[in-house]
Amino acid sequence: MTDASLHNVPIVIDNGSGTIRAGFAGEEIPSCYFPSFVGRPKHPRVMAGGLEGDVFIGQKAQDLRGLLKIRYPLEHGIVTDWDDMEKIWHHVYESELKTLPEEHPVLLTEPPLNPRKNRDIAAQIMFETFNIPALYTSIQAVLSLYASGRTTGVVLDSGDGVSHAVPVYEGFAVPNSIRRIDVAGRDVTEQMQLLLRKNGYVLHTSAEKEVVRMIKEKVCYVSLDPKREEKEWINSYHKSESKTIEYVLPDGHKMKIGQERYRAPEILFDPEIIGMEYPGVHQIVQDAITRTDLDLRKALYLNIVLSGGTTLCKNFPDRLMREIKRLAVEDMKIRISAPAERKYTTWIGGGILAGLSTFRKVTILFSKICFSFPTISALTPDIVDVAPSYDLRIAIVGSGTIGLSFAALHLSHPSKRIQVIIYDPRPDIEEYVRTTLPEIAPLGELLESKQLLLSSTLSSALDSADIVQEQGPENVAFKQGLWIQIEKTAPSTALFWSSTSGIPASVQGLNMQEPSRLLVVHPFNPPHIMPVLEIVPPRNDAGDSDSIHPSKQYIDRTMEYWNTLHRSPVVLKEEVTGFVANRLSFALFREAIHLVNSGVVTAAEVDRIVEESMGPRWAVKGPFWSYHAGGGKEKGLKGFLEKIGDTVQACWDDAGTPSLGRDGNMSSSWEDALCGQVEDAYGMLEDKDLRDRDEKTRQSVQSFKESVAASTCTMADWYTEPTNGAGDSYDWGAPAPSQDFAPLKEQNDFADDTGDTDGPRDDTCRNCGQSGHFARECPEPRRGGGGGSGACFNCGEEGHNKADCPHPRVFKGTCRICNEEGHPAAECPQKPADVCKNCRKEGHKTSECKDNRQFDLNDIPDETPEQAWANLKKADAKRDLEDFRDVCPTSGSVELDVADNYHQAFKVYTKAEPTKTFVDIEKKLRAEEAGVYLIALEKQMENFKPFTLIDLQGRLNCTYVVKLFFSAEPRRANLKDRWPATPEENLERLADAGFEHDRMVPICSNCGELGHGSKGCQQERVVPERVEIKCVNCSEVGHRARDCTQERVNKFACRNCGGSGHKAADCTEPPSLANVECRRCNEKGHFAKDCPSAPKFVKTCRKCGAEDHMSRVCDQPQNMDLITCNNCDETGHYGRDCPKPRDWSRVKCTNCGEMGHSFRKCPEPAADEAGREEEMAGGEMPPIEASGGWATGEDTQGALGW
C-alpha cells in the first residue's frame, strides 16, 4: 500500500440490512446491488461435479435460494454475524467490483445510534483483513440529503431493518433530535408472511420468505384511510373481490391476495399492531422536527426527504403527508420530496461526498491506527487544516444526575458547536452514561461521535478545556483538593464552575492561587429543563462598596454563555446558605409540613393547592410582580400591603417552625405520620414517574417560551434583570440596606392573599377621570387620552386619539438609513437606487420592471421535447389539475411535489420547449384529442387588483387569464359569461393570455387602492363593521370553535350510531331512536312522523266517509251525500250534473285570468299562439341555442365538440 492509493477513486459501500449497494464514487448508480444474505446448502451433496462451495452470496444465492438456508448477518442495522459480513465484503471486492481492496479508500455507511462496538469491529476488519488505505463512516440519512442537493431538511430513511428521521439545518445535523425505530421493510415482510399463513398459504422456509418479500414489493400498498378501507372490504363483498388480485408463484401456482396488501405495510404507521411499543414513521418525523429550535421548524417542514426501499411502497408519500398535516400546527406548509431513485439515494450521496477533494483529509488512515483496536475512538483522523472545529470545549468532572443533565444542556446549544468531555473515575462510566443519558435527554447518539467523549484521566479531560464544571461529592476537603489539581492542569483562561448544593465558592477555593476564578453555578434540578441558574461569586474581601468585584470578568463571560443558551442566569450579590431558589422552596416546604402536622390539610391536598394556585401564576410572574399587580395600578405593592397587610402579618406570626434532628434527620415526633401520608398518596415512585414529571415540566417550560415568542416581547425581556444607573445588571458594592415598610393601615376592602380585591378599588378611570370604575366600563363617551387630558400621538392636539386624527399622518420615527428623524427610509434622500431582481438594472423595483420575467428552472429536470410531451399526456390521464396557477413557475425555484403529477409534467415541458406559447400547446392538444382544454377567460377585475397575468415567455399584463378544464363547455353558471364563444375566439384570446401572478404591490385595506398600505393611507379612516363571531360547536356568540370550552361535537358523525366516516344511510348498525333528531321539534328519540307535538292527521275516505283508509282502496259505493256541487253548492250531485244554469261569475279564465268566462270563450288570443305570431313577424326562426359551449349555423342542436 502506498500513498498513491489514497488518491484513487474511493469505494462507497452502503451496508443495508436487506441489500448491499457498492460501487466507485462518481458513478450514477451503484455497480453492484444484491440482497445482503448468505446461503448455505440445506441438503447433502450426492453428486460430484455439481456446484462447488459451501457458501453462496449475491445473484447465485438468489437463483439457488430454494436449495439454501438463508441467513441475514444484519438485524435492524446491527451486525450479528461478522463472519458472514466479512464474506459478503469479500464477494463485493472479488466478484462484483473486481478490484483490490488495498488500492481504494472506503466510505462505509451506518444507521444512526449504531453501537460503537459495531464500528470498532468493522474498522478492524477493513484495516486488518482487507488492508484498505483509509476509512470513513457516515450516517445514511445525511448522505441521502447530500443526494437531494439540499443543506436543510429532515430525512426519513426506511430500509429493511431500521427507520430513522434525521433533521439537518444548513449542513449541521441536530443530533439530539434524531429519532430511530427498529421497524422497517423486513418487519413488513414477516407481517405479510403471517397474514398469508392465516389465509391458508404457508411459506415458512428462509427461501420462501424471499418469495414473500417479492410479493410485498409488487402488490402491497399503503392505505390512505385504513378504517374506511377496512369497512369497505367488510361491507362490500363485490368490491373486495375487485380489489383481490392473483399472484403467480415461482412454481406456477396462483394465490389470491386481498386485504393483506394494505394490512402488512400498516405496521409502519402503527407498530403496535405487531406488539412493538414504537411510534409510527410519521410520529418520528414530527417528533424530530418538534425537538429542534422553534426557528428551524418551518424550513424543516418544507424539506422532508424520503429515502430507502420501504418508502417506495405505493401511496407511502401521500399517507405520510396526510398524517404529518394532522400532527403539525394548523396552516403549516409541508412539502415531501420523494425522489424516484430513493432506493439508491444513500449510496449516491456517499458517492458525492467521496468524490470531493477534501474527502481524503477526513478519513482515518491505515498508518495512524493502533492495531490492538481497544476502541475506534483511539483512531485519529489525518486532518491538519480541516479538523472538526468546536466553539467551546467543556470538561465535566463528575457524572452524576446533575452532571449528565448539564452535559445534555451544553450539547443542545442552538448556535455554538460544543464538545463535552466527561471525567469520572468509576470503572463502568461508559455503560452508566449509555444507560442514564437517554433518560435525561435523547442524546445517546452523541456517544458515537466526537462531540461527547469519556475520559479516564483528569488531565486528559482538562486539556484545552474552555470551561471546567465540577459536580463532585459534597465534601469540603474533597472539593478544596480537587480545585487545586484543576487549577494546576486546566488552561489559564478556562472558567471554573461548581454546581454545589451548599458549599460556598470562597470555601471551596480557599487554597487556590486565584480563587476569584471559581463561581458557583447553582441550577434548579433538572438543569436541562429548568431555565434559572444562580451565579454566585466568592465573597468580596475588599470590603469597599465602590470597588470592582475581582470575579467580574469571569461573571461576564459566564453570563454571556448562559444567555446564548437561552437560560435565565441571576447573579447573587452575596454568598448565602442554600442559595435563593432552595431557600424559597424550603420555606414553602416548612409551612406545608406545619399545615399537614396541624391537621389543616393532607399532604396530597397541599400538592394540589400549590399545583392549581400559585404554581401556574408564579410560573408566569414571580411573587413581587404578582403582589405589585394586586395592589392596583396606582399604588402597586404599597397598596397591597395597605389592604391586606394585617392578614400577611397574622400568617407570618402563625407560621410553623418544625425542626429536624441534630443529625440532619427528621425527629420521630412527626416523621412517621407525614411520611406515611405521602407514601399512601403516591406510593414508591419509579423511573417512569420521574420521566413523566420531567416531560411535563419540559412541556410547561416550552409552552411558556412559545407564548413569550408569540408576544411582542422577547425572552430577553422576561429574563433581563433591572439595571442600575450605570447600566450594570448587578451591583458589585455592598448590599443595600433593607427597606422599612410603612405602618400598615386599617383594611377597608376585602382582598384574598393573591391581591385580587373583590370590593371596589380606588382606581381612576382614564376616560372621564372619575374613580370607582375602569375606562372599559366608563358610561361617558370615549375621549382622547385619560380624562380628556391626553393628546393625539399624531398631531399633538387634545380631544381625539391617533386613530380618529383628521390631520395627515406625521412620521415621528428614525430613518433606518441615515438615522435622522422626520422621514421614513422610503423617502430618505440617501436611499440607494433600487436594483431590479429581474433585469438587474437600477432605477426601478422588480414589481415595476417592463421586461419579461426570467424564470428560475434549475430545479426542473432536463428532458427532450418528446419525453416531456409523453409525460404530459400520461399525467393528463390522472386528472389531477387542482389550481392551475401553480403550473407556471412564476418566481423563485420550483419544488417538484410527489402528488402534483400534472403540474410537474407541465413544468418539464415548458422547460423543454421554451418558445411554445399557449396557442401552440392548445393546438397540439386538440390535434392529439387530449382530454385537457386551455381556456382563456375574461378576467374579473375585482379579483385582479394586486395581480397581473404572465405568459410562458414572461410577458406581463396580459388581457385574459388561462385556466385548465376537462370540458369544452362551461360546467358552472358563473363561467358562461367569461367563456369564449368559439374555438377560434379561444385561440385569439390565448395569444394574449397568461397565468395569475402576484405583482408584489401592496393594496390598502382602507381605501382599496394599490401602491400603499393602510398605515400610510391619506384617506379618511373607514371603520370596519364588527363581524359577529359564532361558535360552530356550541352555537353560542362571542367565541370561535377552537376556543370553545364545551365538549366537541362531531358535525359529520352518523346520526344513527354516532360514528364517523359514513352517513346514516350507509350505517350498518340497527336503527337507534336514541340518536334520531326530529325535524319538527328538534328533540331526540323519535321521527317527525311520530312527533307528539305535530297535529294528528286522520285518514278519511272521500268515498264512504269512514276513517283509517283512503278512497283508492275503498270497496264501498260512492256516498253522494259527501259530494258538493261547485256550481250551486248543494250536496248530492257533481257540477257537471247540476240542474241549475251555469254561474259564470264563479268561473276564472286560465288564459287572461279574468272571471266570467272560460279559456275556450276567452276573447284574448292564446299566449303560445301570440308568441309564435311575433316570431313569424320577424321573418325567420332563430337558431336553437345550446345550454353551453359554442354553436354554429351548421350545428344548431348542441355545442361544437373539440
Q: Give per-residue pLDDT as tens, 889-915.
A: 333 333 333 323 445 666 777 778 888
**Residue pair 144/155 in contact by the 8 Å Cβ criterion:** yes
- Can you tell me the distance from the alpha carbon of 215 to that of 213, in angstroms, rounded to the nearest whole number? 5
Q: Can you list the alpha helix ranges (DSSP code H) found in 220-327? A: 226-235, 237-243, 260-263, 281-290, 297-301, 316-327
Averaged confidence pLDDT in the chain: 75
Domain boundary among 561, 593, 617: 617
What is the percentage of the chain residues whose pLDDT exceeds 70? 75
Residues 497-543 have pLDDT tens digits of 998 888 888 888 888 888 888 999 988 877 877 888 889 888 876 55
Name the DSSP class of 1077. Answer: B
Q: Please choose, from the candidates 505, 455, 514, 462, the residue with its C-alpha nearest in 3D space to the C-alpha of residue 484.
A: 514
Classify residue 1162: in a domain, yes or no: no
Pick the range with the lowest mean pLDDT from 27-31, 409-413, 429-433, 958-962: 429-433
The C-alpha cell at 558 is 459566564
List pLDDT tens digits, range 712-725. 443 334 333 333 33
Co-location of 205 and 276 in the same domain: yes
Domain end (from 312, 338, 364):
338
Mean pLDDT of 291-317: 88
> Does residue 769 belong to any structural domain of this protein?
no
Are 17 and 115 within one domain? yes
Residues 6+ apart with CB under 8 A from 894: 856, 857, 859, 860, 907
CATH of residue 77's domain is 3.30.420.40
Answer yes or no: do 330 and 299 share one domain.
yes
Same domain, 360 and 305: no
One domain, residues 403 and 471:
yes
Q: 279: cis peptide before it, omega within 30°?
A: no
Q: By the 8 A CB rule, do 911 and 949 touch?
A: no
Residue 185 CA to residue 311 CA, distance in Å, equals 9
Neighbours of 99 (CB within 10 A): 15
Residue 673 resides in a domain: no
Entry field: residues in the chain: 1202
- Which among 536, 647, 648, 649 has a CA at the least distance from the CA of 583? 536
* Domain assignment present for 122: yes
Q: Is 713 exposed, middle or buried (0-12, 13-18, 19+ CB in 10 A)?
A: exposed
Task: Specify the range with the lowest mean pLDDT, choosing from 47-61, 468-482, 720-734, 1026-1040.
Answer: 720-734
b/e map 436-445, b = 16+ CB within 10 Å: bbeebbbbbb
**Does 480 lie in the same domain as 416?**
yes
Residue 418 in contact with residue 411, Cβ under 8 Å?
yes
- Residue 517 and residue 605 share a domain: no
* Backbone Cα Rg of the chain: 41
Q: Looking at the domain assignment, is residue 591 inside a domain?
A: yes
Q: Which pLDDT belongs to residue 410?
A: 84
Given this model, what pLDDT does residue 1076 score?
Answer: 76
Contact criterion met (CB below 8 Å) for 555 and 519: yes
96 shares a domain with 208: no
H-helix segments, 785-883: 865-876
* pLDDT on residue 269: 92
Least confident of 337-341, 429-433, 854-858: 854-858
CATH number at residue 1078: 4.10.60.10
Q: Is residue 572 part of a domain?
A: yes
Last residue of a domain, one of 314, 338, 362: 338
Q: With bands split at pLDDT 50, 70 and 90, how would you rate the model's confidence at 988?
A: very high
Q: Establish if 1030 belongs to a structural domain.
A: no
Which residue reads 450579590 in cell numbers?
573
Lowest-pLDDT choice from 93-102, 214-223, 404-413: 404-413
Question: Is the pLDDT assigned to residue 657 strictly greater than 90?
Answer: no
pLDDT of residue 285: 92
Could you tell me if 520 and 530 are in contact, meaning their C-beta atoms sit under 8 angstroms apart? no
Alpha helices (H) along 913-948: 918-927
| 331 and 191 in a common domain | yes
> Cβ distance 440 to 528 under 8 Å?
yes
Same-domain pairing of 438 and 561: yes
Mode of pairing for the β-strands spanning 153-158 and 163-169:
antiparallel
Is the same domain home to 525 and 594?
A: no
Does one domain contain both 30 and 101? Answer: yes
Number of domains in the chain: 6
Among 348-352, 726-730, 1096-1100, 1169-1173, the least confident range: 726-730
Using 50, 70 and 90 to split pLDDT, how confident is the model at 1087?
A: confident
Mean pLDDT of 129-149: 84
| Residue 776 within a domain | no
Q: What is the C-alpha to C-alpha distance for residues 438 and 218, in angstroms, rounded to an integer?
A: 39
User: pLDDT, tens digit, for every residue of 913-951?
Assistant: 888 888 998 898 888 888 788 899 987 755 556 677 888
Question: Do the Cβ atoms of 958 and 992 come closer than 8 Å?
Answer: yes
**Whole domain around residue 505: which residue ranges?**
392-540+549-578
